[in-house]
Amino acid sequence: MSKFWLLATQLYKQKIRSKSFIFSTLLYVAIVSGIMFWSDIKAAIFSEEPLKIAMVNDTKQDFKEVFQSDDDVKFSFPTEDQATIEKQIKAEKLDAAVFLTEKDGRLNAEIVTYTPLEFNDQTKLSSMIQYAGKIYAVQQLHLTTEQAAQIIESQTPIHMKNLDMQKQDGKSEDEKAAGIGASILVGSIVYSIVISFLSIITTDVASEKGSRVLEVLLASVKPSTHFLAKITGTYLLAFSQVALLLVVQILLLLTVDDGSKWKKVAGVIENLSVSYVVYTLAYLILSIFLFLIVGALFGSLVSKVEEAGQTMMPVMFMGIAGFYVLMSGLYSPDTLLVKIFSFIPFTTVMVMPLRIGATDLSPTEPLIALIILIATVVVLFYVSLSFYKRSVLTYSSGGIIQKIKTVLKVTT
């Protein structure tokens, strides 16, 4: 085994066997699975009885078509008087009752409860009542069923036509939605990788430097080999964690509820363009590399592992900033802020996929961002390597600027 692979696998084996890594990976997988399958988990753990709501209709209109029972709500249509119904509510035989009456030609509703309804349930019930109200209002006009349906169901179809020939290949709403969904996923993965693996590589280099084992290693291997081995080992570690996460999610998607969720995900993937997938993967691979280069460099600057956290704060902030810009761009992916951050190498991976997926941008923009990212990785790699060679054996106190000054002072 070459020295490079020995060092890379040593880091990999040591970290992958560590309790903290195993625990954090399991926690990560559990949290992501929990979010993905929240509705199934909720149904399995909190197997709630459906809400029992009595619809007391004092109008001549029949609303049974509107208020249809489902898994969450069971509607009944009693004919008892209000006092009897309220007694049943107090006795918790019913969760709520809706008294529908007519007032000034409009439908009027009163919701009676003993325990206030949950926000979600109340919203759902309110929108159903609003819908019933519309039907009631239309019915007062004495229209035919078809005419009424035409008014209520009417939706204006909107077609986009752009006169710029280059921009004619616009995205459909489905494609844009898929682009936003996938961008959230990529953004979240990068964010968690930035936070956890930046910390892993920085503290690993810092602890080797602090325990002086680095001097022994560098007597045997070139600093460039050590530097690359650290990045590769951490990269493999990150890759393993992401792969595990994806495998678990895919297995869960395929098995839970007979794969009904997998069909939804497959639908999203089908709506993603080839260029989106290629660019996003390229950004992802390069960006992890970029953050790990900086992490290794910062690890080499500190004198002991305790200082590592403080040193990597600026890079962490870059990751956090990218994530926030992504979140702000989910609702308006065309703002100037999103455009600017999509070209900053440290945030391209989080922001540019959103622009590619959710907006009709010119094909040169993602390419320019990619070129900027590649150029930054190459330049930063060589600058970091040259600095790494000099900083790994220099011990100094003070802040990061002071440390850089000391390295330059004692090595030039």
Partner 1 sequence: MTLVIDQVTKRYQDFTAVDQLSFTIKKGEIFGLIGQNGAGKTTTFRMILDLQETTEGDITWNEQPMNKVNRDILGYLPEERGIFPTMAVEEQLYFFGILRGWTKKDLKKEVDYWIKRFDLEDKRKAKAETLSKGNQQKVQLIASFIHQPEFLILDEPFSGLDPVNRQLLMNAILFLKEKGTTILFSSHQMDNVEELCDHLCVLKKGASLFTGSLLDLKEQYGKIKLSIRSELEESQLNALPGVKRVKKTKDGYTLLLENELYGEQLFQILGKGKYMEKFSMDYLSLDEIFKDLVGGEHV
Q: Which chain residues interact with partner 1 by CB under 8 A? A: 1, 3, 6-7, 10, 14, 207-208, 211-221, 393, 409-412
Helix (H) or strand (E) holding 108: strand 106-113
Considering only CA atoms, give the Rg of the chain: 30
Q: Which of 292, 164, 185 is nearest to 228 (CA)?
A: 292
The residue (of 3 and 134) whose beta carbon lies closer to partner 1 is: 3
- Nearest approach, Cβ of 391 to partner 1 (angstroms)? 12
- Nearest approach, Cβ of 379 to partner 1 (angstroms)? 23
Q: Which of 151, 128, 127, 125 is nearest to 138 (CA)?
A: 151
Residue type, 286: L
The residue (of 184 and 404) whose beta carbon lies closer to partner 1 is: 404
Residue type, 190: V
The residue (of 3 and 124) whose beta carbon lies closer to partner 1 is: 3
The residue (of 320 and 393) whose beta carbon lies closer to partner 1 is: 393
Mutual angle of helices 260-270 and 223-255, in 10-degree steps:
130
From the number of C-beta atoms within 10 Å of its C-beta (0-12, 13-18, 19+), residue 134 rates as: middle
- Nearest approach, Cβ of 26 to partner 1 (angstroms)? 21
The CA-atom distances, in angstroms, between 199 and each of 92, 383, 404 are: 54, 21, 20
The CA-atom distances, in angstroms, between 210 and each of 11, 204, 250, 306, 344 are: 16, 10, 41, 9, 33
Q: Which of 222, 352, 239 is nearest to 292 (CA)?
A: 239
Q: What is the 3-state secondary structure (H, E, C) of 306-351?
A: HHHHHHCHHHHHHHHHHHHHHHHHCCCCCCHHHHHHCCCCCCHHHH
The residue (of 5 and 317) whose beta carbon lies closer to partner 1 is: 5
From the number of C-beta atoms within 10 Å of its C-beta (0-12, 13-18, 19+), residue 11 rates as: buried
- Nearest approach, Cβ of 181 to partner 1 (angstroms)? 41
The residue (of 212 and 264) whose beta carbon lies closer to partner 1 is: 212
Report the distance separating Cα 392 and Cα 210, nearest Å: 10
The residue (of 80 and 215) whose beta carbon lies closer to partner 1 is: 215
- Nearest approach, Cβ of 287 to partner 1 (angstroms)? 30
Q: Which of 65, 317, 106, 299 is nearest to 202 (CA)?
A: 299
Q: Which of 190, 223, 206 is nearest to 316 (CA)?
A: 190
The residue (of 89 and 217) whose beta carbon lies closer to partner 1 is: 217
Q: Which of 368, 324, 327, 364 is nearest to 344 (CA)?
A: 368
The residue (of 15 and 355) whose beta carbon lies closer to partner 1 is: 15
- Nearest approach, Cβ of 231 to partner 1 (angstroms)? 18
Residue type, 80: E
- Nearest approach, Cβ of 224 to partner 1 (angstroms)? 13
- Nearest approach, Cβ of 378 to partner 1 (angstroms)? 25
- Nearest approach, Cβ of 296 to partner 1 (angstroms)? 17
The residue (of 14 and 168) whose beta carbon lies closer to partner 1 is: 14
The residue (of 223 and 366) whose beta carbon lies closer to partner 1 is: 223
Q: Are 227 and 7 in contact (CB under 8 A)?
A: no
- Nearest approach, Cβ of 18 to partner 1 (angstroms)? 8
Helices (H), 49-158: 82-90, 119-139, 145-153
- Nearest approach, Cβ of 211 to partner 1 (angstroms)? 6
